[in-house]
Structure 1
Amino acid sequence: MTYLIIFLLLGFTVLFYLTYSPDISAIVIKKRWSYDNSKFVNIDKISVHYIDEGKKDAPVLIMLHGLSASLHTWHDVTKTLTKDFRVISLDLPGFGITGPWEESKKYDSKNYSKFVEKFINKLEIFSYTLVGNSFGGEISWQLAKNHRNKINALILINATPRLAPFKNWLIGWKLAYLPITKQLSLYFLPYFVTKNSLRRVFKNKDIPFSKFQQYSELTLRVGNRAALISLLKSYSFDPLLFAGDKLNIPTLVVWGEEDEVVPFDYTKEFILNSTNTQLEIVSNAGHLPHEELPIKTSKLIKIFLKPLID
């Protein structure tokens, strides 16, 4: 019995050592994951990380990432877009370098859309196209509904108007949501959790270690895990999202056909509630076609927005 206890204690110690993942300070995260052209602006009492690149007098694209992502998701697709557009991406509150809101703020699409509106006004941008992936697509739609006169076009990439079905959730989201594990998720982030999650969102399973490291460390930014728990706990579908007249803004819906997270029926809701939609299906891509196939995705965007740059 003594040997069994010792063995169990040793096993627990090794498991703790291998999986314990303390928060990483905002200063360290900023140093490791900022780009040379990173910028910061204060909104809602937080320092918002963003990138503003391309031609300053060109049509503006505002890029909004999804859950557990960051502006880094747009890095490769932006390389070709900046030849014709001014491209602005940001880390939404609770993600990336930006970090969380104050505790009283509810993490829902309405508050996020209000936040993005403040960000856009702060940069004094009066005409733009919204590009949203996943949850960023819902935020984009919220903005489009309320500011139709400012928005030139809407681009939705594997977008969803609601959280994916629980059975489709990434393992990290499930751990952050379930009562029995959500507190543990504040202190532990085993490598297999990040690995499993990324292998779910990418069609190509040959993912470089640097990608695992990026997603893992930005999740560990102090406050981000608590923000995710808060978002998953408080989020609810907005019954007014598709209320009223259908959206008549030119809308491009890009769909990575191997998406294991968001069902196409969810994305289809945007199509059914728009009068001016074009659907482009991207083969050999999952939930993040702009990361897996950035050249193909940027080409679709440029063709669709050609009237803006002619």
Structure 2
Amino acid sequence: MATAEWILIFVSVYVFSLDAAEWHYAGDHGIYEWPQDFPHCGEVRQSPIDFPKVEDMTYSKMTPIEFHGFDDPSKYLLKLENNGHTVKVNVESGDVYVEGGGLPGRFKTAQFHFHWGHSGDEGSEHTFNGHNFPMELHVVNYNEKYGNISNAATKGGDGLAVLGFWYQVSDHDNYALAPLINELGQVPVKGSKLNLTGVNLGLLLPIHMDEYNPHFYRYSGSLTTPPCFQSVVWTVFDNKMPISSAQLQMFQNLHEDKELQGDHFLVDNFRPTQPLNDRIIYRNFEVATTGHEQQQQQQEHQQAPRRKAKVNVRLHLVD
């Protein structure tokens, strides 16, 4: 057999074994054992991260992300699933994709899922300047040039584009979430699933909120669960979406086992933030400088040695 064929078989078996291996957030095969069980989880471009203050990010002129096909539920088929790690909505069919916003290609939407805690104090994977949020939504998209999500997930740099959205607790229900939350009781245990109808994907995102702005943060990272492939272009949006305590409780009532067993609730399904390791975090919006910063910049400009005029162009490249 040709060497190339042996390599293909080895890679296929390797990826399959990673997907099939057991992992948890706590206990045996928990988060702190992931790097031993899944070597990619111990690499240097891991996710999630803690975003610093916007002043400490690098500005890059990126257009708003374009969402295509999200607003017509008649054009796609969704399946809701409790997989024991999260509640996930798979996009089974339909032409749903994202592009623009500095993304390296057109990315087809494969699924979205949630991360939450046992209370309203924490639950998000990404944090902002040390601040936690009670829930985070991830919309997972794969680069169409790789054909499918399994193939794209192994491609470093531009295989996947994951969009992250934070939630904050509100005094009122988020009615856009109601069609989804009303079905959570139908997937109470690991392995339970059902076809999901009447859910408008676009309404689950802040793009239709009155106070929506297209501000987002961008960095290169990884899947936040094993096998932790470093193939993700991360985009986390500045807008926070509302969720009531009662709605959050519906997620917290789910179970992580195949049977309803006591207090084995599906909660705290988030990975701690990982070291940044000199990665650059970009923002697609400018921030106003304070009077002190402007004065400091003027002083630095006046003290700088004068040189012959020339054009100095610096390109900020986004993986």
Report which of the two has the higher share of strand: 2
Give yes or no for TM over 0.5.
no
Report which of the two has the higher share of helix: 1
Which has the greater radius of gyration?
2
Structure 2 length-normalised TM: 0.26
Structure 1 length-normalised TM: 0.27
